[in-house]
Amino acid sequence: MKSLHRESLVIHGGESPTDPHGALVSPLYQTSTFVFPDAETGGRRFAGEEAGYIYSRLGNPTVNLLEQRVAALEGMEAGAAAATGMGAVAAATMAFLKAGDHVIASDCIYGCSFALFSHLFERFGVHVSFVDMTDAAALASAFQANTKVVFVETPANPHLKIIDLKKVGQVCAKHPEVRLIVDNTFMTPLLQRPGEFGAHLVVHSATKYLNGHGDVVAGVITGSLEDIHLIKMTTLKDMGATMSPHDAWLITRGLKTLALRMEKHCATAAVVADFLVAHHAVAKVYFPGLKSHQGHGLIGSQMASAGAVIAFELKGGYQAGVQLLNQLEMIRVAVSLGDAESLIQHPASMTHSPLTPEAREQAGITDGLIRISVGLEHVDDIIADLAQSLQQLETHTKHTPQSEVTEVENV
Ligand code: 4LM
């Protein structure tokens, strides 16, 4: 199956046509437990002496198909499905950590990943250094004798900072005891395969593009057979953040259109980014597709495309951002990304509110930053909605007494 194109792997990856009725679509095994033919077989399965399902927290055929499909897409040997993206991040990292260990994480990551590392890990005696990984020397000097995990998110949530995975991979290769774990949520394996640059494990919030329909929260981890076995037998099995068969079935269904969806998401986002750049109410646009973007040069080598998430700041700062969101008619004000619906949100008060103001400043997340996940609607409708809201902003600003528009005047 590895020889198929990724556009085919989203449909066929990991499949084994074993259904006794010849069903085209793999059935949903909506069962909590599996009946053993006899007591001895049950014992052998528990002992790991015989293959076979036991209980859905330990494995389920519907979940297993999704795991193998995402692994095939990432070019990895095996996969483990988790109940949420955070379940995947926690299970993948904690399987390799114990009290006294050290983690290096990129300085701009999803808010709850930051909370897990900086709040929870510290409570269990694991110290985390947040490092600007665009600086390979800073990464190299952050290693300690007890460093066990390097965690990278690229493009970074929310402002799409790009980290050069090849450089990070080269630095990590000097520390064979360290696991390099990359969160590939924003790219999907269709646009970026971190394993090609030395990542040992790749995690996803499958809630986003992989599922793509806004009706599931889920996560997936891919890596070597050995690492995935360890994760399944320790953190996933015993902390229990495993995926439900129904969610796996929905994601497997959603995955079939991933290639088509990504093509459309990305094409539309490029046009929306150009619109924002040209708009006089917009102060700054963060989108890897723009030549001015810090990571633009890695498109074509590390990433096949810029993706479909854009961050921007308005000249009117926070106040204007809030107004922009409130005046939108079609675009939905909501966190999450990768859905058919365009979603817009304010990271400082929403997805990245778990960061302290100091951590947000270090990560470059300003109070005026807005993030939009460009959906699958017609590009003209997305732009028209943004334009009408920006227009109202200007009208409002023009008619507002000067004392109330200090933020506009200050920019
Ligand atoms: C959001 N993100 O940004 P679950 N990794 C990355 C993410 O963006 C997320 C997760 C992991 C957003 C959720 C509200 C790069 C989530 C965590 O939400 O646990 O599936 O994924 O809007």
Tell me the average pLDDT of the chain: 94
Reduce the secondary structure of 300-353 to three states and give it as a string.
CCCECCCCCEEEEEECCHHHHHHHHHHCCCCCEECCCCCCCCCEEECCCCCCCC
How far, in Å, CA of 242 to CA of 83, rounded?
5
Q: What structural domains does the chain harbor?
A: 6-255 (3.40.640.10), 258-410 (3.90.1150.10)
Q: Which amino acid is at 380?
A: D
**Residue 225 confidence (pLDDT):** 98
How far, in Å, CA of 33 to CA of 35, rounded?
7
Decide if pLDDT at 397 tops 70.
no
**Residue 394 confidence (pLDDT):** 76
How far, in Å, CA of 138 to CA of 156, rounded?
18
Decide if pLDDT at 398 tops 70.
no
pLDDT digits (tens, 9 = 90+) for 106-129: 999 999 999 999 999 999 999 999
Is the previous residue joined to 189 through a cis bond, with omega within 30 degrees of 0?
no
pLDDT digits (tens, 9 = 90+) for 228-283: 999 999 999 999 999 999 999 999 999 999 999 999 999 999 999 999 999 999 99
**Residue 188 confidence (pLDDT):** 98
Give the distance from CA 86 to its chain's centroid: 10
pLDDT-based confidence at residue 407 (cuts at 50, 70, 90): very low
Pocket perturbation via mutation, ligand 1, pick of 161, 208, 242 by most ligand atoms within 8 A of CB: 208
Task: Take atom 2 of ligand 1 and give the residue whose Cα is closest.
Answer: 336
Of the listed ranges 181-185, 324-328, 399-403, the least confidently predicted one is 399-403
Residue 14 is given by DSSP the state T
Is the Cβ atom of 350 under 6 angstroms away from ligand 1? no
Dihedral sign for Cα atoms in the order 14, 17, 23, 27: negative
**Residue 408 confidence (pLDDT):** 31
Is the Cβ atom of 92 under 6 angstroms away from ligand 1? no
Nearest-atom index, ligand 1, CA of 217: 20
Compute, in angstroms, the gap from residue 305 CA to the centroid of ligand 1: 20
Contacts of residue 7, Cβ cutoff 8 Å, sequence gap at least 6: 190, 259
pLDDT-based confidence at residue 373 (cuts at 50, 70, 90): very high
Q: Mind telling me the catalytic residues?
A: 57, 110, 183, 208
Decide if pLDDT at 191 tops 50.
yes
Q: What is the mean pLDDT of residues 316-345?
A: 97
Is the Cβ atom of 153 under 6 angstroms away from ligand 1? yes
* CA-to-CA dists, residue 349 to 185, 322, 345, 368, angstroms: 21, 11, 9, 10
Rounded to the nearest 10°, the torsion over CA 208, 213, 217, 218 is -60
Contacts of residue 152, Cβ cutoff 8 Å, sequence gap at least 6: 105, 106, 133, 163, 165, 168, 180, 181, 182, 183, 194, 199
Joined together, the tokens standing for residue 403 give: 């004392």
